[in-house]
């Protein structure tokens, strides 16, 4: 029963997003350097953190799948990666808008943070053709899990490499040696991060519920020996 608790979770997500937006625009002070444009920070950075953590979670679910052989974990891994790719699109677009406002360019190719995120995103974009190129469901799930684990391990390594790189244009916001964020900004950021994390969890749960309903429907159709509807030939993971 993947839908259990979806309603309170959705309400909590809406409340937390409303709180995050209110704090962003009415509580957090204007940044001394960037002014109003810095408000994009409270959307862009939490989205990026949640997307990257989601990729890692996809790898962790894939480990559980390979260890147990339970197809449920493969579906979890697929949905976690799927949701993180969607968040990744939002990160790239909002990042581009922020870059244009701050730096005068939509994209800066010699900036390690941007390019590394694009590499991670493109790597996960290959997950879909890789997965759907395999028709046998067991092989598909196994190979997709291996991909998710390898790519999931690459994400923190990539993050550490970027942190070690010398960057001129992307400030280290949380570097305590250089001051870090003031209290109000940090509080607003943490609420925004919690809101995005809750949104990710809610959407993952919603997607799993839809997949579960679809799986149950196919089971029912098989049990009744009913004719199959003309649908997609794509072999997507299911949960039952």
Partner 1 sequence: MDLLPIGAPALPLDEAGKYVAGAYVVFLVLLLVYVAIMAVKLQRIERELRELATFAEARANAEEAAPQEEVSAP
Contacting residues toward partner 1, per CB under 8 A: 30-31, 33-37, 39-40, 43-44, 47, 86, 89-90, 93-94, 97-98, 100-105, 108, 168-169, 171, 203, 206-207, 210, 213-214, 217, 220-221, 224, 226-227, 229
Q: How far is the CB of 31 from partner 1 (least distance, A)?
A: 7
The 8-class DSSP code of residue 177 comes to G
Closer residue to partner 1 (CB): 124 or 154 = 124
Closer residue to partner 1 (CB): 157 or 177 = 177
Closer residue to partner 1 (CB): 157 or 234 = 234
Residue 146, token pair as written in the block: 């291996």
Q: Which residues have C-beta within 8 Å of that of residue 5, sequence separation ≥ 6?
A: 205
Q: How far is the CB of 220 from partner 1 (least distance, A)?
A: 6
Closer residue to partner 1 (CB): 94 or 142 = 94
Q: How far is the CB of 150 from partner 1 (least distance, A)?
A: 27
Query: Which has the closest alpha carbon to 44: 59, 57, 34, 56?
Result: 34
Residue in this structure with the two tokens 């444009």, named with its chain if needed: 37
- 117 neighbors 48 (Cβ within 8 angstroms): yes
Q: How far is the CB of 8 from partner 1 (least distance, A)?
A: 18
Q: How far apart are CA 38 and CA 33, in angstroms?
A: 9
What does the CA dihedral 149, 150, 153, 158 come to, rounded to 10 degrees? -150
């Amino acid at each position: 029963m993947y839908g259990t608790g979806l309603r309170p979770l959705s309400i909590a997500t809406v409340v937390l997003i409303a709180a995050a937006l209110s704090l962003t625009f009415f509580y957090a002070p204007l940044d001394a350097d960037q002014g109003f444009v810095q408000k994009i920070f409270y959307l862009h950075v939490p989205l990026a953190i949640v997307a990257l953590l989601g990729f890692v979670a996809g790898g962790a679910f894939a480990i559980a799948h390979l260890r147990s052989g339970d197809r449920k974990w493969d579906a979890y891994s697929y949905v976690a990666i799927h949701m993180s790719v969607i968040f990744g699109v939002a990160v790239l677009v909002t990042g581009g808008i922020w870059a244009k406002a701050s730096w005068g360019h939509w994209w800066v190719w010699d900036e390690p943070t941007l390019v590394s995120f694009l590499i991670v995103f493109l790597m996960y974009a290959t997950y879909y053709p890789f997965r759907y190129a395999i028709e046998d469901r067991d092989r598909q799930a196994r190979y997709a899990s291996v991909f998710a684990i390898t790519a999931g391990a690459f994400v923190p390594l990539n993050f550490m490499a970027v942190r070690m790189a010398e960057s001129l244009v992307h400030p280290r916001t949380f570097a305590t040696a250089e001051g870090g964020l003031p209290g109000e900004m940090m509080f607003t950021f943490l609420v925004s991060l919690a809101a995005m994390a809750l949104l990710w969890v809610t959407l993952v749960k919603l997607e799993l519920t839809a997949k579960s309903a679809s799986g149950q429907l196919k089971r029912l159709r098989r049990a009744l020996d009913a004719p199959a509807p003309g649908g997609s030939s794509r072999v997507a993971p299911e949960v039952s």
